[in-house]
Structure 1
Amino acid sequence: MSEQAVPAAELAELLSAERLETYRRQAPEWGCSPIELYLHGARLASSHHHDLSIVEVVLRNALHDQLSQVYGPRWWAEGQLLDDRGQEAIAKAHKDVGEHPVGRIIAALPMGFWIHLLGHGDYAGRRPFRERRSYDALLWRPALRHAFPHSSGVRDEVHRLARRVYALRNRIAHCEPIIGGVRVPGTKTRRSPDEIHEDLVTLVWWISPPVGKWLAAQSYTPALLGGPHQSQ
């Protein structure tokens, strides 16, 4: 269906005035109507989602590969490795898929699990036997830093970038607007749509420059960044 054929009035009523308010505020900046901007935002989200389908799999496989080299293919079974949050995610994955091959378990773990592995870690066990799981010592230094050979090698920097990518993924998954950017976790700062695209490419480039370069070249996103009229 062409954009001219969209029943704008009816669609606006079904989307609700509250949902369209963001697009009404930003439409003049983009030089289009709120409905046109809403549809363009949906196309932009779809393009980001296409790239995320590559980024998420590349990320989790890179982390799994490095952990497997140090702790074996079922590295999560190491009792002194993961904090409570990590162990709960593993338990849920096993509950969902059962005792299947490693690949099925890895695929069942949500993106948030992998992002958490890049963090500082938290506590595991019950009081009075709770112990801190330092992911810097247990995961990053022996294993995960090698998943990002083209980064600075600073865990916090990799984690911040991965969290920004995860924030984008969550907004898209919940059909939230991204046309005005995505808030950086823990701040009031927003990353613009073009900066979001740069984050996706950078995260993959830190793992593999050839794949990062390919992702940038094949992405539909740059053609959409100019606005609804330039992308038609």
Structure 2
Amino acid sequence: MSDHTVPEELESLLSAERLGTYHRHAPEWERSPISLYLLGSDLASSMHRDLGVAEVVLRNAMNDVLTERYEPRWWANPELLDERGQEAVAKAWKDSGSNQDSPPGRVVARLPMGFWIQLLEAGGWVGQKPFRTRRYYDATLWRPALRFAFPGSTLVRADVHAVAQRVYALRNRISHCEPVIAGVRVPGTRTRRSPAEIHQDIITLVSWISEPVGQWLAHRSHTPALLADAPG
């Protein structure tokens, strides 16, 4: 859609705060703020489509290897998950209306992306003092199981987690309708990943799980075409 086809009322109906990012970055993109806003919306939609594949592939790959190592109801094993993980499973169990006879996949399907990203962390605490204990995910989840979900990667757990966390940050930003045109901040840092870099993170994560699926997703995605005229 070109600028002259945009209804005049659109810009006035968008808040100044909402358009502020686009006014700041319009010169480097050589576009008007409203044109950049529309491009940003198209980018968010395209990346959301890519993330839909990445999230399901990540969840299923991790669940498969954990099921193989710890049985289908691995998420109910009290020795595996830390407090945050147990709370997420309890919520998924309740929200899915599960009971002891329900298929394990009902809970798995309800577990949010953040849960799977947390499983790639070092692990946290569980229980109350004096029984409070630490869960070490390197020993209980990564080495026995989760590393096999990423056969295309030779990296350690922390490095895989870093990429997955950046992808999750993009997902959250899009879910909250925040601009992506200026990139996405790397969690815990002041560094920003450009739209092209964060899209490559999606492709990298999926490719670590399955190279053919990663190549297919890269070919299918509309994001590179939208970024063809990106500055720098």
TM bucket normalised to smaller: over 0.9
Q: How does 1:29-68 map to 2 (within 5 A)?
A: 29-68=28-67
Answer yes or no: is the 8 Å Cα contact 1:67–1:144 preserved in 2: yes
Q: State the secondary structure of the residue aligned to 2:122.
A: coil
CA distance in 2: counterparts of 1:143 and 1:4, whole angstroms: 55
Name the residue aligned to 1:158.
160
AA aligned opposite 1:219: S
Corresponding pairs, count:
227
CA distance in 2: counterparts of 1:38 and 1:226, whole angstroms: 16
Q: State the secondary structure of the residue aligned to 2:205.
A: helix
Post-superposition Cα deviations, 1:163-189, rounded to whole Å, max 9, x if no partner, equal 000000000000001101000011100
| TM-score between both structures, scaled by the size of structure 2 | 0.95
Q: Which runs of 5+ in 2 are unaligned?
A: none
Q: State the secondary structure of the residue aligned to 1:121.
A: coil
- Structure 1 residue aligned with 2:181, among 160, 179, 182? 179
The share of aligned pairs that are identical, in percent, is: 66
AA aligned opposite 1:121: G
CA distance in 2: counterparts of 1:101 and 1:208, whole angstroms: 26
Post-superposition Cα deviations, 1:87-136, rounded to whole Å, max 9, x if no partner, equal 00000001101223222211111000000000000000111100000011
Q: CA deviation at 1:4?
A: 3.3
Q: Which runs of 5+ in 1 are unaligned?
A: none
Q: State the secondary structure of the residue aligned to 1:175.
A: coil
Alignment pair present for 1:220 and 2:222: yes
Q: State the secondary structure of the residue aligned to 1:80.
A: coil
Name the residue aligned to 1:18.
17
Answer yes or no: is the 8 Å Cα contact 1:27–1:34 preserved in 2: yes
Q: CA deviation at 1:71?
A: 0.4
Name the residue aligned to 1:4.
4
Name the residue aligned to 2:137.
135
Q: State the secondary structure of the residue aligned to 2:216.
A: helix
Post-superposition Cα deviations, 1:200-229, rounded to whole Å, max 9, x if no partner, equal 00000001101101110110001000249x
Answer yes or no: is the 8 Å Cα contact 2:3–2:34 preserved in 1: no
Alignment pair present for 1:121 and 2:123: yes
Taking structure 1 as reference, are residues 2 and 23 closer, same or farther at Cα in structure 2, changes over 3 Å only?
A: closer
AA aligned opposite 1:24: H
CA distance in 2: counterparts of 1:193 and 1:111, whole angstroms: 21
AA aligned opposite 2:195: P
Q: CA deviation at 1:2?
A: 6.4
Q: CA RMSD in A?
A: 1.3
